[in-house]
Amino acid sequence: MRTPVIPGARFALRIAMVVLSVTFPFGCALLALSYSPPSHIEVAGQTVSVKPVLGQDTSRLLGGALVRPDHAHIDLLDLDVGVDVDADWNRLIPSDKRTRAYLTALWDDPTPQIGRLQQAARRHVVIWSGAGFLAGLLVVVATWSGLAYRRRRLRSYPAEEADVVRRHNRRLRASLAVVAVAGVLAVDVLAVRIYEHQDHHTVISSPVFAGTSLEGTEVNGLAAEVLPFLSILRPRSTFYDTVADNLERALAARPSLKRDGDEVVLVLAEDFEDVNGMARQVGLAADLVDASFLALTGDLTFAGLAVETYIIDTVDYYSDHRPVYFAPGLHDTNVVVEAAAARGWHVADGTTVDVDGLGLLAVPDPRISTVGGFGTGTVLRDPDVDVDRTIADTIDEACAEQPDLVILHDHLLGRPIAEAGCQDVAVLDGRSYRFVGPQEVPVTSTSTTTAETTVEFTGGSTGGHVTTVPDPGSIKNPARFSIITVQPDSSDSSDGPRATYAVVTVQPDATVTVTPEISLDVPYAEFVDSGRTGLTPESDLLQPGRP
């Protein structure tokens, strides 16, 4: 006979099981989020841990040494989510004055890194809460599936045998039920406590940060005594904010530069050498003209140290994470190259790729400067590949694949590659303080092409440098980069020029000029001298390029 059941008990038990089954996955999600290990990202070569905290209405750095009011709010749950950030303080603000100088621009514009921290926190919340919910849901599904399977098996037995089995397993079932219910209740109780946790804090802005990138931050403990004396906390400059506003207006006046149809628009820049503010402008310009990609021809940093690699994140943030094709220069050490590759940049390897119907051959400079180790001279990136080998291999690749564009760092290497004449549009290079733009180059090899001339396009310092001395702050000289438009598979001259370029110039007074589109067969100096745009010929057109 069946064991008698108190009337209504079975119904109440089932209701309780349904309620616990519904709440359990959500409880597991809250527990997983609360007890998960922190996520990690790299900022300026430093590993930084990011841990979202439920119920916290601030973000805290280094155990609360710095407290900011930044946090998220989940409207659906009416729940605040703050972030605890931890890092090695000695590496975050190193004692070495020269190394600290490389970080100045990072602290001057921390927005891209704040964005990465926020992204890491969001990803952490989604992944861990999702994993917890899924684990809880699997337990619930497995439990109900097991019960359903047991019922089917018992129904297949004669009634008396089924009753014997039930009575035989009664104590085991009761024990399992008690343990399971206790476990589920424990999870739900902990989840409720986590949900109800409130860590609200009114941030008292420390006056020592007034006028700096940390304005609005509360500083506590030993940090309150140390931070005011660090030279890195200088008043924040609004120079590049003004430049960005002027750039937006200047590009808005040139609507033809925005990508249209099947044309390929690329933003070409090089030689930032830690000028983070100009990396911002290049990224912003790429976003504003809806560029297909960015082509960076080297020297992102000065010393090639991990601490300088935040400039990669700046380009990504302001360009809205557009593709970047990067041809490393002499100052781009393996540390910089690895950081770029880790961010998803397409690092040059000497092979031709297709980009939106455009053949692109990107070539790394075979040399690495030893300035990062405070030495002099250069070493080979690959001991088996020197300058002559690089030139020869690039010409062979270009003549075999006939790319539209070849990009590399040094104009001294770019010239013989251009003279081979195997590229369809131009060789894009740099390593010149002087912005040269397009030059008509005679083709010296009759065996590779029937063309008599080709184009070499040499950019200047986008960081506004005129010497090898690093200066990561506001530019002291005109800084330039280019916007190049190419019509793939359109060689018919009746359709107009296949390729055009426009030059963006940022002046030391924060003014920005953008030329109209210029045919790639018109030299920049000739265009400026013509006075067709009202531009005044800049003095740096006469400055020598780098040897």
181 shares its domain with 270: no
Continuous H helices in 56-110: 89-92, 97-108
Residue with tokens 């880790």: 342
Contact 232, 103 (CB under 8 A): yes
Decide if 188 is inside a domain.
yes
Q: What is the pLDDT of residue 195?
A: 92
Q: What is the pLDDT of residue 247?
A: 97
What span, in angstroms and rounded, lies between the C-alpha atoms of 26 and 39? Answer: 21
| Beta-strand runs (E) in 283-413 | 293-296, 324-326, 346-347, 352-355, 358-362, 367-369, 378-380, 405-410
328 shares its domain with 449: yes
Among candidate residues 406, 375, 408, the one with its CA nearest the CA of residue 304: 375
Q: What is the pLDDT of residue 8?
A: 66
Q: Which amino acid is at 293?
A: F
What span, in angstroms and rounded, lies between the C-alpha atoms of 295 and 267? Answer: 6
According to DSSP, the β-strands at 453-458 and 437-442 are: antiparallel
Domain boundary among 137, 168, 196: 196
296 shares its domain with 187: no
289 shares its domain with 156: no
403 shares its domain with 522: yes
User: Tens of pLDDT along 351-393?
Assistant: 999 999 999 999 999 999 877 654 556 889 999 999 999 999 9
Contact 315, 324 (CB under 8 A): yes
Q: What is the pLDDT of residue 496?
A: 46
- CATH number for position 445: 3.60.21.10
Q: What is the pLDDT of residue 86?
A: 92
Q: What is the pLDDT of residue 9?
A: 66
Decide if 192 is inside a domain.
yes
Decide if 231 is inside a domain.
no
Residue 480 C-alpha from the chain's centroid: 23
392 shares its domain with 473: yes
pTM for the predicted model, two decimal places:
0.85
Burial of 507 (0-12, 13-18, 19+ CB in 10 A): middle
Decide if 228 is inside a domain.
no
268 shares its domain with 350: yes
Domain boundary among 196, 230, 258: 196
CB 21: neighbour CB atoms within 10 A? Answer: 17
Contact 462, 481 (CB under 8 A): yes
Q: What is the pLDDT of residue 214?
A: 76
Q: What is the pLDDT of residue 490?
A: 57
What is the residue range of 188's domain? 9-196
Q: What is the largest CA-CA distance in the chain?
A: 107
User: Tens of pLDDT along 257-292?
Assistant: 999 988 999 999 999 999 999 999 999 999 999 999
163 shares its domain with 243: no
Considering its fold, how many domains does the chain have in total? 2
303 shares its domain with 249: yes
Residue 502 tokens read as: 């426009």
Residues of the chain with pLDDT under 50: 1, 374, 493-494, 496, 534-547
Q: What is the pLDDT of residue 230?
A: 57
398 shares its domain with 470: yes
153 shares its domain with 264: no
Decide if 87 is inside a domain.
yes
* DSSP calls for 169-205: THHHHHHHHHHHHHHHHHHHHHHHHHHH--B------
186 shares its domain with 252: no
- What does the angle CA 114 – CA 282 – CA 333 come to, to the nearest 5 degrees? 75
